[in-house]
Amino acid sequence: MEDERLRALPSVERLAQALDADPALRAYPPVERRAAARAAIAQRRAALRQGASEAPDCAASPLWSPSQMFEQLCAAARQRLREARSLRPVINATGVILHTNLGRAPLPQAALAAIAEIAGGYANLEYDLTTGQRGRRDAHGEALWQELLGCEAAVIVNNCAAAVWLVLDALGRDGAALISRGELVEIGGGFRIPDIMAQSGVALREVGTTNRTRLSDYEAALAPDARLIVRVHQSNFRLTGFTARPAVAELAGFARRHGLVLFDDIGSGLLADLTADGLRDEPLPARALADGADVVTFSADKLLGGPQAGVIAGRRDLVERIRRRPLMRMLRADKLTYAALEAALRLYRAGDWAAIPVLAMLRASPLALKQRAQRLARRLRQRIPADICRIELAPGASVIGGGCAPHIALPTTLVALKPERHSSEELTARLRQASPPVIARAADGRVWLDLRAVFPTQEGDLAKAVAESLAS
């Protein structure tokens, strides 16, 4: 029997050809595909020589066939290729939609197609097709921003931290900015508003108190060197109780009366009004601009659901001043970002929220999530005996993450795994070693799987990873 299997091992050439034909493996050079094919065959040959009992396809299976073995070898070679890579796809079973450590927003399909099309060749990135002269990269997408935000002008840079820095550098340098003490926040990853202001050469005038700031506090801090009022969205925390701060419209009127610029760092960049989905007090850039903010900044890879970028939008004269700063050249976005962002904005213009993964995950119905959890639990129970792991369903809450709307708990159904022979930490560690790795949360002796940020196409791999992690 072993001899028959040894004889049925394919040639390296045949296996490599099968790998070459797999579109998912185009990211790997042919030499690496061939090496993976050779290694997979060598490993199988060694296993067969050690005896059928140690070969992965043993089980004295009457189902064994050369074509089944070929499929298994393909899978083994594919896994080898993927595991050799540093930056790899993972399955996000944490229920955190904008997981900063897992790359924040997954892009819409339309954005991926745009990246492939633009990045694989040449494009009119800085080339005016009408005149044949040099063009401006920040012209791309500006009309869409005008339409979606109602702004006069917009530019993008590498991320929102860069956008904030650039605005302060261009509009506040050698002057002062008034900011409420309740808004001197740390956004995360060491990004602290007071530090950024200090380093961009803007003098900081703290106004009001942590919990209450009134218009009269801004008035009291007025001085001839004041250039800006900076308003920062308290993205990652909520101040509740005895609190107050002026609305954008009030501040805008005040700023105008005193010849100051009102700069609103919104951070999260929600373009769709999701009040109906429970996102009640998340600021909309379009509304801030309509209420009189002169310039706003926000991330493109938070609630907008696009690629990493920082958007600066507002009055044309101010955006022009920002554009002309030398820093702009250092912080500029690349063509991949422009391609992806334009594609995402087109989806907003078409009202196609379902095609934007972040919005689709955020708006997934509790019933649909429950049904997916039930299906996964059934699948797992079929493969995993109850004395190895108890598999139960439990109500739970997903979060948006990325420092956005921390008070929002999105109802979901969790699959709870209670491993009988391992600790829950051991199981999460094994899941991280799966291919693709599965990232899940361990708490109370259980591993909790939330399907909200898992793509339906990943459910098979997820079930396989859980079954295999519990098997040994």
Ligand X SMILES: *Cc1c(COP(=O)(O)O)cnc(C)c1O
Q: Which is nearer to ligand X, 187 or 442 (CB)?
A: 187
Q: Which is nearer to ligand X, 55 or 266 (CB)?
A: 266
Residue type, 62: P
Q: What is the spatial distance between Cα 322 and Cα 235, in angstroms, rounded to a whole number? A: 24
Q: Which is nearer to ligand X, 270 or 466 (CB)?
A: 270
Report the nearest approach of ligand X to the CB of residue 457 (Å).
28
Structure tokens at 235: 């993205």
Q: DSSP assignment, residue 457?
A: G
Asked if residue 274 lies in contact with residue 256, where contact means CB atoms within 8 angstroms, the answer is no
Report the nearest approach of ligand X to the CB of residue 365 (Å).
27
Report the nearest approach of ligand X to the CB of residue 282 (Å).
11
Report the nearest approach of ligand X to the CB of residue 8 (Å).
53
Structure tokens at 147: 């339409």
E strands present in 50-114: 91-92
Q: Which is nearer to ligand X, 160 or 369 (CB)?
A: 160
Report the nearest approach of ligand X to the CB of residue 47 (Å).
47
Query: Which of 238, 304, 274, 270 has its CA nearest to residue 410?
Result: 274
Asked if residue 38 lies in contact with residue 12, where contact means CB atoms within 8 angstroms, the answer is yes
Structure tokens at 439: 């990232």
Asked if residue 317 lies in contact with residue 70, where contact means CB atoms within 8 angstroms, the answer is no
Q: Is 353 helix (H, G, I), strand (E, B) or coil?
A: helix
Q: What is the spatial distance between Cα 417 and Cα 466, in angstroms, rounded to a whole number? A: 9
Could you tell me which residues come within 8 angstroms of residue 255 by beta carbon, excluding any fewer than 6 positions away? 229, 261, 262, 292, 294
Structure tokens at 96: 């955190």
Report the nearest approach of ligand X to the CB of residue 440 (Å).
25
Q: Which is nearer to ligand X, 333 or 454 (CB)?
A: 333
For helices 335-349 and 142-149, what crossing angle results, to 10°? Answer: 40
Report the nearest approach of ligand X to the CB of residue 299 (Å).
3
Element (H, E) at 461: helix 459-471
Report the nearest approach of ligand X to the CB of residue 184 (Å).
12
Q: Which is nearer to ligand X, 192 or 432 (CB)?
A: 192
Asked if residue 83 lies in contact with residue 320, where contact means CB atoms within 8 angstroms, the answer is no
Q: Which is nearer to ligand X, 248 or 466 (CB)?
A: 248
Q: Which is nearer to ligand X, 359 or 391 (CB)?
A: 359
Query: Which of 332, 333, 440 has its CA nearest to residue 91?
Result: 440
Q: Which is nearer to ligand X, 283 or 357 (CB)?
A: 283
Whose CB is nearest to ligand X?
267
Could you tell me which residues come within 8 angstroms of residue 448 by beta carbon, excluding any fewer than 6 positions away? 95, 394, 396, 414, 415, 416, 417, 440, 441, 442
Report the nearest approach of ligand X to the CB of residue 302 (Å).
6
Bridge partners (DSSP) listed for residue 417: 391, 447
Q: What is the spatial distance between Cα 454 and Cα 361, in angstroms, rounded to a whole number? A: 9
Binding positions for ligand X, rule: CB under 6 A: 159-161, 164, 187, 191, 232-233, 235, 265, 267-268, 299, 310, 403
Q: Which is nearer to ligand X, 96 or 434 (CB)?
A: 96
Report the nearest approach of ligand X to the CB of residue 29 (Å).
33
